[in-house]
Structure 1
Amino acid sequence: MPPRKEAYGGGCVQNWLENLLPENRLDLEAIARDTSGDLKACSTRNPLRMLEKIGEDCAGAIQVVRGERLEAVLNAGGIDPVSDADVEKMIREVRLGRAVAGRLPGSSQGRFSLAGAQRKTALRRLGDGSWGIPYGMEPTTHIMKPPITGMPGQVEGEHFCLRLCRATGLSAASSEVLEFGLETVICVERFDRLIAGNEKVVRVHVEDMCQALSVPPSRKYQSDGGPGATEICGEVLSRSVRADADRETFMQAMVTNWVLMGTDAHAKNYSVFVLPGAERPAAALAPLYDVNTFAPYPEASWNKGTMSMSVGGKYVFSQIHERHWRTACDRAGFFPAEGAEWLEKVIFDIREKAPAVAGKIIEEGLNPEWMKKLSSITSRRCEKVLSTLFPLKTYSFIEDYCPSEETNVETETPQPQP
């Protein structure tokens, strides 16, 4: 929430708490109905009661505990080891919507609240690489997400996008693709957890941009009345201890999502570390997460698909041009010394790094044909965007995997829009 001297209440607190919860309606209803163990039924409209059931491990440094459990949580804590077969069962139950994230069937341990629309679970990675379910004061360290139904290759796509972000200089969450029996997940290392001395894991406080701006999760998209780049950079990142660098990083992330056709880069998919300050809390942009591409799927369209946040007033991918990026950067308070060359360099760097990122992932054993497709689509899109934005320039690109006719890139681009 925005820092102020007066206490918060009402809708602001409600919004902040709701942003800690999952968004899937069926999952919320299942959590509300759950009366296993010591749990009591509650209303989905009461986020505090919901979090009392699953909020002993939340995003950031937050733990929500019922009063009668407080002493047990504060004075106890541990990790229940689980086998790969147990993890497979957990992931399958979560993917099918049959279990609360973090719990094995019949167990009351694992009271984890994992925000967002995509189903997921969380675990603690142990020193020997095995997994466990933490409880009490012990936090989780990794989030595991099975693929979204109807989107084959989605977890591999997110892994590619996160690796590509890091290759181009952006800070992004570390990830890997893991298989547990018949279940495949993207496993993301939590950046809101820190390993201190003696391998003790501590929570680090973060808030997503909806929490930071007191916006409910139902308004996470700018087109639904949620925050855009201007609000995020002006009202949140202006408080950062590295404000100029964070504004540049945020705008670079938006450009990256543009060429990747990342249609889900809304306000909940950006976060800030909340740091203690002498007079008021300070902030710092957290690593990127949940970066993905819609480009390889048949329904994808550069001419119809939209950004989650507008760029100079434009949402449709193909209607965004250099002048719109210039306007967006101005409104965000980011004024690159290179001018338009900054945008050109960002796109060119994505084009040049994509093949190597895909090649490295192929070496790690992931589906080579899918990685080649992701690399090729990304490369062709960057080339097309560069030729549209900077028609008087010529470029020499490193070799990519596939010929352009095998990619899902439209052959026509509309004329520039006013």
Structure 2
Amino acid sequence: MNDQLEVELFGRAIGTLSIDGPLRSPEDWAFAYRADYLRSPAAIALSVGLPLRTQPFTGAVARNWFCNLLPEGGVRQAVADRLRLPLDDDFALLAAIGGECAGAVSVSSPGIRQASGDDAETDLETLLYLQGEDAGEGAWALAGTPMRLSLAGAQDKLAVIAEADGRLRLPRAGEPSTHILKPDSRRFPGIRDAEALGLALARRVGLNAASASLVEVMNRPALLVERYDRTRAADGGIHRLHQEDFCQALGYPEQLKYEDKGGPGLAACSSLLRQLALGPIAMRGLLDWVVFNALIGNADAHAKNLSLLCGHEGRRSLAPLYDLVPTLYLPQSLVDRTPAMRIGHATHIARIAVEDWTAFAGAARYGRRFVLERVRTLADAVLVYLPETAMRIIEQGGDEARVARVATVIADNTGRMLDEIRKDSLRGR
């Protein structure tokens, strides 16, 4: 079995990922930058946690970063089953599907490149049809040959290219995709409309969030999300941006994305941005992410839903907001109400009090008054723009009753939080 993989960034070989040991355990992993890459004046680090240096990175620090590129849950199971690989063999999965990951990184066997795309089937509906109408979770991720693409996360999704005429197709070998296509969940029907509302509302209140639209593919509702890790050049060409999520940047394994399971909290995320000296725009962006998720009732805002972007010049910034799903509308028996990253001492996403915001401000090193004012400002904006935003989602094809129900949940939660802030203000604290 192959024990060495080549790592590329922006299409350039930068290092080698290897594993040495019969048990293929985390301690056996190693990543080393290439000497010629380190000599280049244009070299940039693959990660905040993997700075440029001649010595290799070994053990969990190497394993954790690369394994965060892999899909999770049922999608991972489907990929492993299709490729007949052990579910727990991270290295083998990377070798099989790491050819194009989120951002601009690529992991592949030395000397192996994707086959020419000239003869590859790229028609999206044809490939989805071949998966079968009753295909289970992970079916969309499996559409396309050869299996060379890895998108992290537990939700089924597929990287596609949206043509100017609206047609969707799979990218050819080496061609950057422009959008992520996410089918409506079979386990949580209607989550597409809820996520579309969350993203559209964030943009409407002035936040930097991914752009998305409602589509239907093979008679199945789906959300088409424009990739924020892509840029369009003056000549119309699409170029990749590098990205890493906060689990990667902070060195956590993918299974520890929730704080109550041992993952990073908001104080650690805030400290990272300050350590990188990304400035007030990034600090405000993190605060807005926390506040907006609290207002819409998204208890699943974990560390893998925050990312850093990095261009060819090596300058990092906070990525646009994404995966803004108001999970509060889903049945409590199915979705935990505990915030994925703690806000003070709140144990329920709809019961965050002023005291919790005060505790969060202290832990993440924000001014208390600044935090409360931002909660109030965003809450006001959400209540103003929610009705028209919900109507636009319905006009795009969202289910009217479902969108209305999600909007009501958001309005009730936001209104409650705004009342808390106003009462505190009247007390003169």
On whether the aligned pair clears a TM of 0.5, the verdict is yes
TM-score by length of 1: 0.81
How far residue 11 of structure 1 moved from its aligned partner, in angstroms, is: 1.0
Question: What does 1:310-329 correspond to in 2, within 5 Å?
Answer: 310-329=342-361
Aligned residue for 1:51?
94
Question: What does 1:228-239 correspond to in 2, within 5 Å?
Answer: 228-236=265-273, 238-239=275-276
Aligned residue for 1:167?
204
1:284 matched to 2:317: yes
How far residue 333 of structure 1 moved from its aligned partner, in angstroms, is: 2.8
Aligned residue for 1:16?
65
Equivalent AA in structure 1 for residue 422 of structure 2? F
Distance in 1 separating the partners of 2:280 and 2:161: 35
Equivalent AA in structure 1 for residue 202 of structure 2? C
Alpha-carbon distance change, 33 to 375 in structure 1, aligned in 2, over 3 angstroms: closer
Alpha-carbon distance change, 90 to 315 in structure 1, aligned in 2, over 3 angstroms: farther
Alpha-carbon distance change, 339 to 297 in structure 1, aligned in 2, over 3 angstroms: closer
SS at match of 1:291: coil
Per-residue Cα deviation, 1:40-91 (whole angstroms, up to 9, x for no partner): x544444332122112221110112222423x66xx5569574463265278
How far residue 388 of structure 1 moved from its aligned partner, in angstroms, is: 3.0
Contact 1:121 1:143 (C-alpha < 8 Å) held by counterparts: yes
Which shows bigger deviation, 180-189 or 364-373? Answer: 364-373
SS at match of 2:209: coil
Aligned residue for 2:180?
143
Distance in 2 separating the partners of 1:81 and 1:31: 19
1:67 matched to 2:145: no
User: What stretches of structure 2 of length at least 5 have no aligned partner?
Assistant: 1-46
How far residue 247 of structure 1 moved from its aligned partner, in angstroms, is: 1.6
1:255 matched to 2:301: no
How far residue 383 of structure 1 moved from its aligned partner, in angstroms, is: 1.5
1:384 matched to 2:416: yes
Contact 2:128 2:140 (C-alpha < 8 Å) held by counterparts: no
Alpha-carbon distance change, 99 to 320 in structure 1, aligned in 2, over 3 angstroms: closer
How far residue 110 of structure 1 moved from its aligned partner, in angstroms, is: 5.2
Aligned residue for 2:224?
187
1:375 matched to 2:407: yes
Which shows bigger deviation, 372-381 or 150-159? Answer: 372-381
How far residue 224 of structure 1 moved from its aligned partner, in angstroms, is: 0.6
Contact 1:56 1:64 (C-alpha < 8 Å) held by counterparts: yes
How far residue 318 of structure 1 moved from its aligned partner, in angstroms, is: 4.6
Distance in 2 separating the partners of 1:181 and 1:190: 22
Alpha-carbon distance change, 313 to 30 in structure 1, aligned in 2, over 3 angstroms: same
Distance in 2 separating the partners of 1:77 and 1:167: 39
Alpha-carbon distance change, 93 to 287 in structure 1, aligned in 2, over 3 angstroms: farther
Distance in 2 separating the partners of 1:192 and 1:275: 9
Q: Number of matched residues?
A: 377
Contact 1:262 1:293 (C-alpha < 8 Å) held by counterparts: yes
Aligned residue for 1:397?
none
Alpha-carbon distance change, 275 to 181 in structure 1, aligned in 2, over 3 angstroms: closer
1:297 matched to 2:330: yes
Equivalent AA in structure 2 for residue 28 of structure 1? R
TM-score by length of 2: 0.79
Per-residue Cα deviation, 1:376-405 (whole angstroms, up to 9, x for no partner): 2222222222223323779xxxxxxxxxxx
